[in-house]
Structure 1
C-alpha cells in the first residue's frame, strides 16, 4: 500500500447523492455537468472517478441517467491524469464485446482505465429489458465466469473457453495493451460469493461506507484468502459521503439539513427498496444505521471539522484503505473545499 491514500469522486450519473430535491443543488445528471465535474476534480488533484452503470435511473425512471461507457470513453479523451473507473454489470454485455470496449478506452486514456465489476441489485433494469434477474448467487457465478473471460482477453491471450454461460473459440483481441498487462479490475459487493470473486480476480475491493472496525474486519477476512499464483496483494477502496466544515457544529448542522431534504425523497426510496434484491448484503448493511448518501454514505463517519475528518481518513488508511471514493452535497463546492482543506491535513498527518 502506498504511503499516501488516493482520493476519487463519484460521477453524478443519476444526480445528487444525498437528496434529489436540494434547492442548493438542483437535479442534474447531464453529460455537461459530469464533464465539468470530472475536469475540475482532475485539476484539484483527485486521483480517480467512478462512473456507475445504470441504463435507467434507479430512483425514478422518469429522471435522467448518464450512460457509463460512452461517458467514460469521452472522459478518457478529455482528461490527462485522472483514473477513469467504469462500472459494468455482466448481464448487459457479452464478455468479448465488453473486453474490446475496455481495451479501446484503455488506449484512449493512455493507460488510465479500470473496470468496476458489480453484479446488479436493481430488478427493473434487467427485467424490463427482457434479460431477466437471476438469484443472487447465480448472478455471482455468472459474473465470475464472465470476468475470467474478460481478464484473459485484456491480457492479450487467445481464449478458448467452455463454461456454463459462454462458448468462446480461440478469440484474441488486438492491439494489446502497450501500457501494462491489463486495466485494473475493481470489484464491489460484500457477500460471500463477492469476497470469493474479488480474491480470485480483483485488484481492488470496493467496500461500502461503514464504521472503521467493520471495515477493518472485512479487510482482514479477504486479505486472508488465497490469491492466484503471481497476483499482487489485493488493495482496498472505501466509499464515503463527506461533510467537512470549519467546525463540528457546522458539519452536524449540514448533516441534519441533508437528512431533512432526504425525507422528501422517501417515496422514491421506498420504490427503490421494493426493486432491490433482498439478498444484496449492501442494502442489509445500510439498514444498520441512519445515513445520507449512497453506497454507505455517511456511515463511514467522515463528518466533522477538517481536522477530525482528516484523522478518520488516516485511521482508515492505516487499516488498509488505499482509495477513498467520495461523495459530497453540494458536490462541486464541497469537492473543492475537501481538496483545499482536508487533503493537505492528511498529508501532514502522514508526514508526507
Structure 2
C-alpha cells in the first residue's frame, strides 16, 4: 500500500478486552478512564480510536458501560488530532437524528469524526429496550436503507426518501461539514450482506482479527465487487502481546488465556443472546484466542520485531488501519508505541 499504516485503539467502553478478572487491570469502563486513555493515545501517536456502542454491557450485565455518542462528543472537544470513530446500530437511531448528531460532532472535532455502522449481534440489548431484533439479513437490509439516507444527509444534501423502513421528507442538516464533504464511514461485519454493504457504501471496511491469508482472501472478494467513488480502504481489529523475547510473549498470552477461563460462566449465560448467524462469532470459534473481535487470532503475539513484521504483512495485503487492543491496556499501549510502532512504520 502507498499509505502508511494507521494505528488506533479500542476505547474501553465495557472494561477489559481479554480477561475480566485480571488483577493487573481492574474493571473500569468509566468516562474518567476513557478520557485519559484517548488523550494519552493521541499524545503517543495513535491515529484513531473506536468507541463501540452498547446500551448495556454485552458481556456482563452487572457491569457498567460507557455511552458512546455523548462520550465521543466530549472526546471531540478535548482532543486535537486523533480520529474519533463511533459505532452506531441502525436499530437504535432514526437516520435523520443520527446524521444531525454526527455532523455536530464533526463540527466539534474540526473534521475528525467517523461513524462505524454495525448491525447488532446482541438480542438482549434490543429486548431490554423494547425494540425489534430482526433476523440477520433483515438487519442488513435495514442498515443498507438507513445508510442510504444518512450518507447524503451527512453531505448536506436535501433528502426525500420513501422506503421499507424509513420515510424522510425534505430533510437537510445544517450546518454542513466545514472541512470536507462528510464524516468518514466505516462498516463492520463479514457476512455476505456486510461485504455487499461495505463495497457499495463504506469508505473503510473493518475486518475482525484472523490470519493474514484469510484477511487477504476477504479483501480480494470485496475488491472484486462493483463500486463507485474512491477505492475502499480496509481496517483490522487485533489484540497485541509484544515482548522483548518470544518466550515472554507466549507466557503473557498463556497468563491471559488462563484468566479468561474464569470468565466462561458469565459469557456462557450471555451467549444465548448472540445471533448464531453473526459471522464474527463463527470466525472467533475456529481457534483459541484472547480478546474481542478476533483478538489474538491475527497473530500479533511475539517479539517487537515479529509483531512489526506481521503488521507489515497485513499492510502488504491491504490493511491500512489497525484497531488494537491490549491488556493491561495503558501499559501495553505505551509499550507498543515505544517499541513496535516505529518498527512497523519504518
Fold match, TM over 0.5? yes
- Asked if the contact 2:60/2:267 (under 8 Å) is kept, the reply is no
Structure 1 CA distance for aligned equivalents of residues 238 and 145 of structure 2: 30
User: 2:278 — aligned with what?
Assistant: 280
Structure 2 CA distance for aligned equivalents of residues 155 and 127 of structure 1: 33
- Secondary structure at the aligned position of 2:91 is classed as helix
Structure 1 CA distance for aligned equivalents of residues 21 and 305 of structure 2: 30
* Runs of 4+ deviating beyond 2 Å: none
- Asked if the contact 1:59/1:271 (under 8 Å) is kept, the reply is no
Cα deviations across residues 48-83 of structure 1 (Å, max 9, x unaligned)?
A: 000000000001111000000000000000000000
Cα deviations across residues 229-286 of structure 1 (Å, max 9, x unaligned)?
A: xx10000000000000000000000000000100110012212321100000010000
Cα deviations across residues 261-316 of structure 1 (Å, max 9, x unaligned)?
A: 00110012212321100000010000100000000000000000000000000000
> What's the Cα RMSD here?
0.7
User: 2:50 — aligned with what?
Assistant: 50
Structure 2 CA distance for aligned equivalents of residues 300 and 200 of structure 1: 26
Cα deviations across residues 2-30 of structure 1 (Å, max 9, x unaligned)?
A: 43100000000000000111000000000
- Asked if the contact 1:85/1:114 (under 8 Å) is kept, the reply is yes
Structure 1 CA distance for aligned equivalents of residues 52 and 313 of structure 2: 27
User: 2:166 — aligned with what?
Assistant: 166
Cα deviations across residues 112-167 of structure 1 (Å, max 9, x unaligned)?
A: 00000000000010012111211000000000000110001001110000100111
Structure 2 CA distance for aligned equivalents of residues 221 and 148 of structure 1: 23
Structure 2 residue 128 is the aligned partner of structure 1 residue 128: yes
Structure 2 residue 294 is the aligned partner of structure 1 residue 296: yes
Alignment of 1:14-93 (within 5 A): 14-93=14-93
**Gaps (5+ residues) in structure 2?**
none
User: 1:248 — aligned with what?
Assistant: 246
C-alpha deviation, 1:347, in angstroms = 2.4
User: 2:334 — aligned with what?
Assistant: 336
How many residue pairs get matched?
A: 346
Structure 2 CA distance for aligned equivalents of residues 335 and 2 of structure 1: 26
C-alpha deviation, 1:346, in angstroms = 1.3
User: 2:323 — aligned with what?
Assistant: 325
Structure 1 CA distance for aligned equivalents of residues 303 and 285 of structure 2: 26
User: 2:113 — aligned with what?
Assistant: 113
**Gaps (5+ residues) in structure 1?**
none
Change in 2 beyond 3 A, CA 1:78/1:271: same
- Asked if the contact 2:47/2:83 (under 8 Å) is kept, the reply is yes
* TM-score (normalised: structure 1): 0.98
- Secondary structure at the aligned position of 2:146 is classed as helix
Structure 2 CA distance for aligned equivalents of residues 236 and 209 of structure 1: 12
Structure 2 CA distance for aligned equivalents of residues 347 and 222 of structure 1: 26
